[in-house]
Amino acid sequence: MEQTWRWFGPDDVVQLPHIRQTGATGIVTALHQIPYGVIWSVEEIEARKALIAADPSLGLRWSVVESLPVHENIKIGEGELEPLFDNYRQSLRNLAQCGVTTICYNFMPVLDWTRTELAHPLPGGGTALRFNAHEHAAFDCFMLQRPGAEADHSPEVLARAKDWFDRSSEADRRKLLANIMAGLPGAYDRYDVPGLRRMLDRYREIDKTRLRENLARFLREVVPVAEEVGIRMCIHPDDPPRPLMGLPRIVSNEDDLAFIVGAIESPANGITLCSGSLGAGPANDVPAIAKRFATHIFFAHLRNVAKEPDGSFMEADHLGGDTDMVAVVMALLEEQKRRKEAGDPRWRIPMRPDHGHELLDDVGKPTHPGYPAIGRLKGLAELRGVMMTLASVRNLPL
């Protein structure tokens, strides 16, 4: 697999020479400064490519776009959508013209990945991302005061949520809101509580069926152009894979993925296998999902989570947690072998170590939440060891 690394652009604390030191050669990045729905011009794309290639000794290339965002109006199915589809199609054409042909995107309403703690303490002084079910319930029921929210949380979680809220200070509540918003990088909208209420109100009539229909329309509108220009679209699973604040989720499990790949049959309509996002779903067998959808996987995020009975979970070591990462890597390597033997020139699957623990000298640095250098380096080294061992023992191409 191609070893890649997420880079948030010129302002990222983790710089390109640091990335090369990890052993990664592919860069996963996006033009976060460009708002939703605006065309990514050839000039902007080439400028980012030039930054990545400025020092030829590093041997880095822009391997994957993460993410080319889908405008909220497309998810809701609201307003004049054809200009937004036109702009998305033109961005795809421009990316293909510049040689960047793997595109990760998501269809999560309003919020991207969501955590309630960004620096949960670990033994020895490190920190991890964490989702606490009772803090999410406290936000949903008592800060957001969403009508009917109590029905979405168990009595035990609600009791702990009420206790947290009653003991919390105004600073605690502001921090919780900031943590929940932290998964939205760059030009993505952030909300205060009234603003979030207004956004949720726009989704009042959108259930899972309706959101699925809107995703299917998006795929019908853009996938033919992606196929025409040689782009592979890779939808990212919901994180966490469960409804949040009354918002439906439609990329959360095996059934959802089957719907997506069946919505338009095309070699351009694919999946980002995120073992952590899917792994946070108690019913998801991630290795089995990897095997079933192997032919549709064009990008992989490899990380692990440890789940708890109340719906809470925490980012675990990449080879720890609840998901059998060795089995996941095996499924991807076997799919690579199949593609190579079939003569696919793009047989290698880009992978990156996703969310890492904040460790050692990274503790306290202003890195993007979940994206410190050392924790991801540790994860990449562990995953590289698994890949090389399996490739050697099973005679599989790396």
236 is an active site residue: yes
368 is an active site residue: no
Distance (Å, rounded) from C-alpha 75 to C-alpha 107? 7
AA letter at 234: C
AA letter at 92: L
Question: Which helix (H) or strand (E) covers residue 104, if one does?
Answer: strand 102-105
Choosing from 236, 296, 318, 357, the catalytic residue is: 236
354 is an active site residue: yes
Helix (H, G, I), strand (E, B) or coil at 275: helix
Choosing from 274, 296, 317, 362, the catalytic residue is: 274
Sign of the dihedral defined by the CA atoms of residues 234, 239, 241, 246, in that order? negative
What's phi and psi for 236, nearest 5 deg? Answer: -95, 140
234 is an active site residue: no
Taking alpha carbons only, the member of 32, 70, 129 closest to residue 250 is: 70
AA letter at 110: V
Distance (Å, rounded) from C-alpha 40 to C-alpha 22? 29
Distance (Å, rounded) from C-alpha 232 to C-alpha 337? 19
120 is an active site residue: no
Non-local CB neighbours of 157 within 8 Å, separated by 6+ positions = 133, 134, 137, 310, 311
What does the DSSP assignment read for 302-369? E-EEEE-TTS-EEEE-TT-SSS-HHHHHHHHHHHHHHHHHTT-TT-SPEEEE-S--B-GGGTT--PPT
Choosing from 301, 317, 318, 357, the catalytic residue is: 301
301 is an active site residue: yes
Dig out the tokens for 98 from the structure. Answer: 């510049």
Length of the chain: 398
Choosing from 71, 153, 296, 355, the catalytic residue is: 355
Taking alpha carbons only, the member of 255, 271, 245 closest to residue 152 is: 245
Catalytic residues: 236, 274, 301, 354-355, 371
